[in-house]
Amino acid sequence: MRWTRVGNGREPHRGRRGGGKCNADNQEEGLTSLGNLRKFTFKELQSATENFSSNNILGAGGFGNVYKGKLGDGAMVAVKRLKDYL
């Protein structure tokens, strides 16, 4: 699965309140469009954060820690790893 971009980014989203419909013609079946976002595998994030090393913690909150990471293309990212609640 991958994220796709809908439209050209200049057109406003017209939800149900406005009576318009989302542009489903530009979406592949079963995918959600969230602008210009990319979906990462856990393995990619694990590698970028050096296995979620404590040396890379930027902050902590009620839902989990935020880690500094570097992707394979050199882009710096912040990754929030949610706590496991059973």
Domains in the chain with CATH codes? 1-39 (no CATH), 40-86 (3.30.200.20)
Q: What is the pLDDT confidence band of residue 54, given thresholds at 50, 70 and 90?
A: very high
- 9-39 pLDDT, tens digit per residue, is 444 444 444 444 444 444 455 556 678 888 8
Q: Is 80 annotated as a binding residue?
A: yes
Share of the chain above pLDDT 70, in %: 59
Q: Mean pLDDT throughout 52-69?
A: 95
pLDDT at 33: 65
Length of the chain: 86
b/e sequence 15-47, b meaning 16+ C-beta within 10 Å: eeeeeeeeeeeeeeeeeebeeeeeeeeeebbbe
The residues that bridge with 76 in the sheet, in sequence order, are: 70
